[in-house]
Chain A
Amino acid sequence: MDLNYTSTQDAFRAEVAAFLSENLPEHIREKVRLGKRISKADTEEWNAILNAQGWLAPNWPQEYGGAEWDAVQRQIFEEECCLAHAPRLVPFGLTMLAPVLLKFGSEAQRRHFLPRILNGEDWWCQGYSEPGAGSDLAAVKTRAVREGDHYVVNGQKTWTTLGQHANWIFCLVRTNTEVKKQAGISFLLIDMNTPGVTVRPIELIDGEAEVNEVFFDNVRVPVENLIGEEDMGWTYAKYLLTHERTNIAGVGFSNAALTTLKKVAAGTLAGGRPLDQNPHFAARMAQVEIDLMAMRTTNLRVVSAAAAGQAPGAESSMLKVKGTQIRQELTSLLRRAAGPDAMPFLPEYLEGGDNQDPMGPEHAPAAAPNYFNMRKLSIFGGSNEVQRSIITKAILEL
């Protein structure tokens, strides 16, 4: 047992930190620091900078332009990015689709799609959920019927994050209705500029339209956009979900959020003294910090097991539940810290405009929207209830 990083890992951390301090554009850093909304252009700008450095795809093999870091390096990279207020990497192409392409795609698909993810030509979104298929994902109904060298797709996806920016969507579609529901699903890549694809935004509780409904009306998709074999999509989908769950603990985000929270609490007066001296607020902060200290180690225990070649299995469910609880508590405390100043809704400020609110402190306007937005953490990627069921069955064997 040794909780210390190796000197190589320490050097790596220093290298990442130095790069970030030199290359992260100030206007983007400032938005992330204040919890403002990150635009498509911001993401593209930052992706290009990381790509030039060869760091945009931490988990890919170098052969395809990735950094090929091990799990601990990726963890270090994530932590440093969060502390430096770098925007999060949009995962759909980089950490969701790419592993599936690498494992189950054809060489032609890899050579075509992977470079386009790196150079920003393609923006991917995830078309798994449907109105009737949420936790019960295998119930997807979107139908793909083979007609010659095309699939004709009809149906609807929903909750598609950032689908408004995307030009490609990877979908779970039903290709066989005669078999057990998991056995009739295929994994299909769909160009969103194909006739018959419609995207409709859904405004969420925080006032931002971050997700979308995507409709397919007789959309013709070339058969070469099928991943692997027909009707084998469930296997690929599950493989993708295990990747979705790496980094699920969000330790990097929590570290950064705790640092921000401490600064805000020390700088906020409540009843004539700093908020971090209110015994009740201080206790809440201490409690979540204690949980986070343990979570850093829980996460590394799971992550380094994976680094040694063991895939994180049901343990990642543990990281998901506790990690999201910690993140949600931190956003809740940041909201509370804002007091009455959490109330005004200032979309122009959140969009990055100048602070037109002369009254509130700088962190206040985003505090409530972010708190509400982060309710999603315990809903998506397999809800926390679903994760508990996995733990119950796979670890406890109950």
Chain B
Amino acid sequence: MDFTLTEERSMLRDMLGRFLAESYEHEMRQKLLASGQSHSTETFASLAELGILGALFREEQGGFGGEGFDIAVVFEELGRVGSIEPILGNAVLAGHLLATLGQGAQDEMIGSVISGETVLAFAHAEAGSRFDLSHVQVKADIAAGGITLDGVKTHVINGGDAQVFVVSARESGEAGDEAGISLFLVPANTPGVSVAVRTNIDGTSGATVTLSEVQLQEDQRLGKAGGSFAAIEAATAQAILAVSAEALGAMESAKALTVSYLKERKQFGIPIGKFQALQHRMADMLIEIEQARSAVVNLASALDKPRPIREREASATKNLIGRVGALVAEECIQMHGGIGMTGEYALSHFARRLTMIDHQFGDVDHHLERFIALKSA
């Protein structure tokens, strides 16, 4: 048993933390959001140069990390500053699928993902799919001349930034069947692909991707025909780890802002942090954030375990993170008073992201139910 980070990971964390503290200083982040851009191309290029994307892939995939704790370290730092850079959908989801399923020429693209030249996005969710990974209705029609994709994909993370989409589509069966789902590599400039970008309430960027009679060749299929569900589930477990660690970073920042505000803000002639009514709630929050940290550790170490163990940990962690995230967001706003509700102040940004993380990859209720089902399985 060892709860210390390896030397490499401590260095990675410190370097990334230092870099982000400057490039994602709150005012700069505010300007970035106000600019309407989905992210900072400059910061993203620097992150790639620093090897942050490489840290998310394994050696045999061309990276130098890729384990649970690498993802956890990187995303905690990203969460601490409220990064909106395209890393989650790009490297953790689409990149992971490409790295695990890709063959030959497909695999070579990983190098340009790690260098930041190519941004990928994972186009999987659909209207009504909610948190159900097997709810795929977009059809892949296979004919002698090639493959035709038709349908609409929603909530594609950083979909507006992607040069290439990893698109899930159904070759057989019905929505809800795990079998029959395939993945395809679809360049964004393929005729028939259109992308409508939207900013989310937490500042991140999503897109609706419409595929109308998109023609593909057989070599654009990623992995086996109809056999991609297991890889999608594994990639999603990685993404759950990533956003859970991101939430942890956001919780730490929200807590730090609140603690210093409680010391600074005076009412009735004394710092409000002297009121026991608030002190005990801060103490409870600290306990819950430590629990959140442990939940992230649990999932990070379970990522390579057999599926039943991994998925049960994923649901446990996401449920706990959702609960603690809501607590931290709501309590930190409340203890700030009016200031906590202002759009300019950093706290409201952490609160928005923390809240929205519960809307990605399954919320507390979804994962509670799933945890119960996996337990009895």
A interface residues with partner B (beta carbon < 8 Å): 129, 132, 134-136, 139, 158-159, 202-207, 211, 268-272, 278-281, 284, 332, 335-336, 338-346, 357-359, 368-369, 371-372, 375-376, 378-380, 383-385, 388-389
Q: Is B267 an interface residue (CB 8 A)?
A: yes
Q: Is the CB of B268 within 8 A of A340?
A: no
How far does the Cβ of B377 sit from chain A's closest Cβ, in whole Å? 16
Q: Which of A341, A380, A388 contacts B277 (CB 8 A)?
A: A388
Is the CB–CB distance between B330 and A368 below 8 Å? no
Query: B132 touches which one: A271, A345, A383 (CB < 8 A)?
Result: A271
From known contacts A135-B337, A343-B155, A379-B334, infer whether A359 and B365 are also in contact, taking CB-CB under 8 Å: no
Chain A proximity of B325: nearest CB distance (Å): 12
> A136 contacts B267, CB within 8 Å?
yes
Which residues of chain A are near B352, meaning CB under 8 Å? 205, 372
Given known A-B contacts A279-B369, A344-B200, A345-B198, A269 and B359 have beta carbons under 8 A apart? no
Check A342–B359 contact: CB distance below 8 A: yes
Out of A278, A346, A379, which one reaches B341, CB within 8 Å? A379
Q: Are A336 and B199 in contact (CB under 8 A)?
A: no
The contact sample of 5 A-B pairs, CB cut-off 8 A, is A269-B130, A278-B366, A359-B127, A372-B352, A379-B340
With a cutoff of 8 Å between Cβ atoms, the chain A residues found around residue B269 in the complex are: 136
Q: Which of B55-63, B229-237, B307-315, B342-350 contacts A (4 or more CB under 8 A)?
A: B342-350
Taking a contact as CB atoms closer than 8 A, the residue among B200, B340, B344, B351 that contacts A343 in the complex is B200
A132 to B275 Cα, complex, angstroms: 17
Nearest to A345 among chain B residues (CB) is: B201
Contacts of B286 in A (CB 8 A): none
Interface residue tally on B, bucketed by range: 35 or more
Known: A343-B155, A345-B200. A336 touches B365 (CB 8 A): yes
Q: Does the CB pair A134–B267 fall under 8 Å?
A: yes
B342 surroundings in chain A (CB, below 8 A)? 202-205
- For the complex formed, measure the closest distance between the CB of A69 and the CB atoms of chain B, giving whole angstroms: 33
> Contact between B368 and A280 (Cβ–Cβ < 8 Å)?
yes
Q: Does B158 contact A (CB under 8 A)?
A: no
Q: B338 and A340: CB pair below 8 A?
A: no
Tell whether A340 pairs with B176 under 8 Å between CB atoms, given A159-B338, A375-B341. Answer: no
Q: B356 at the A/B interface (Cβ < 8 Å)?
A: yes
Asked if B278 CB lies within 8 Å of chain A CBs, one says: yes
Residue of B nearest to A375 (CB): B333
Complex contact A340–B130 (CB within 8 A): yes
The 5 residue pairs across chains A and B that have the minimum distance between CB atoms: A203-B343, A280-B365, A205-B348, A136-B267, A345-B201
Smallest CB-CB separation from A385: which chain B residue? B277
For residue B362, which residue of chain A has the nearest CB? A339
Known contacts: A205-B343, A336-B365, A359-B127. The answer to whether A129 contacts B338 by CB under 8 A is yes
If A340-B130, A378-B334 touch, whether A278 touches B365 (CB-CB below 8 Å) is: yes
Q: Distance in Å from the Cβ of B224 to the closest Cβ of chain A?
A: 25
- How far does the Cβ of B340 sit from chain A's closest Cβ, in whole Å? 8
Contact across chains for B355 and A271 when beta carbons are under 8 A apart: no
A279 / chain B contacts, CB cutoff of 8 Å: 369
Output the nearest chain A residue to B265 by Cβ-Cβ distance.
Answer: A134
Closest-by-CB residue of A relative to B154 is A359
Q: Are A380 and B363 in contact (CB under 8 A)?
A: no
Nearest B residue to A338, CB-CB? B359
**Known contacts A340-B125, A372-B352; is A270 also within 8 Å of B200 by CB?**
no
Contact with A along B205-217 (1 / 0, CB 8 A): 0101000000000
CA distance A385 to B176 in the complex (A): 47
Docked-complex contact B198 and A340, CB < 8 angstroms: no
Please state if A204 and B341 are interface contacts (CB–CB under 8 Å): yes
Shortest beta-carbon distance from B119 to chain A in Å: 20
Tell me the minimal C-beta distance from A320 to chain B in angstroms: 14
B141–chain A nearest beta-carbon distance, Å: 23
- Residue in chain B with minimal CB distance to A384: B334
For residue B152, CB closer than 8 A to chain A, the reply is yes
On chain B, the residues within 8 Å of A376 by CB distance are 338, 341
Q: State in angstroms the CA–CA spacing of A200 and B289 once bound together.
A: 37
Closest to A207 in B: B343
CB pair A380 B338 closer than 8 Å = yes
In the complex, the answer to whether A336 meets B267 with C-beta atoms within 8 Å is: no
Contact with A369, one of B132, B154, B201 (Cβ below 8 angstroms): B201
- Beyond the given A207-B201, A280-B365, A342-B356, please list 10 additional residue pairs across the A-B interface where CB-CB is below 8 A: A136-B268, A205-B351, A280-B364, A336-B358, A339-B130, A343-B359, A344-B199, A344-B201, A379-B341, A380-B338
Q: Which residue of B lies closest to A210 (CB)?
A: B341
Given contacts A281-B365, A359-B208, A368-B201, contact A343 B356 (CB under 8 A): yes
Rounded to whole Å, the gap between the CB of A346 and the closest CB of chain B is: 7
Whether A269 pairs with B128 at a CB distance below 8 angstroms is yes
Residues of B within 8 A of A371 (CB): 355
In the complex the two chains form, is A271's CB within 8 Å of B278's CB? no
Tell me the complex Cα distance, A335–B201, Å. 12
Task: For A341, list chain B residues within 8 Å (CB).
Answer: 155
Is B131 interfacial (CB 8 A cutoff)? yes
* In the complex, chain A residues whose CB is within 8 Å of the CB of B344: 202-203
Which residue of A is nearest B155, CB measured? Answer: A340
Contacts of A129 in B (CB 8 A): 338
Flag if A383 contacts B337 (CB, 8 Å): yes
Min Cβ gap A210→B in Å is 9
Measured CB to CB, the closest approach of chain A to B258, in angstroms, equals 14
| Contact present for A135 and B366 (CB under 8 Å) | no
B366:A270 contact, CB within 8 angstroms = yes
In the bound assembly, the distance between CA atoms of A281 and B364 in angstroms comes to: 9
A272, B201: Cβ atoms closer than 8 Å: no
- For the complex, give the distance between the alpha carbons of A372 and B343 in Å: 11
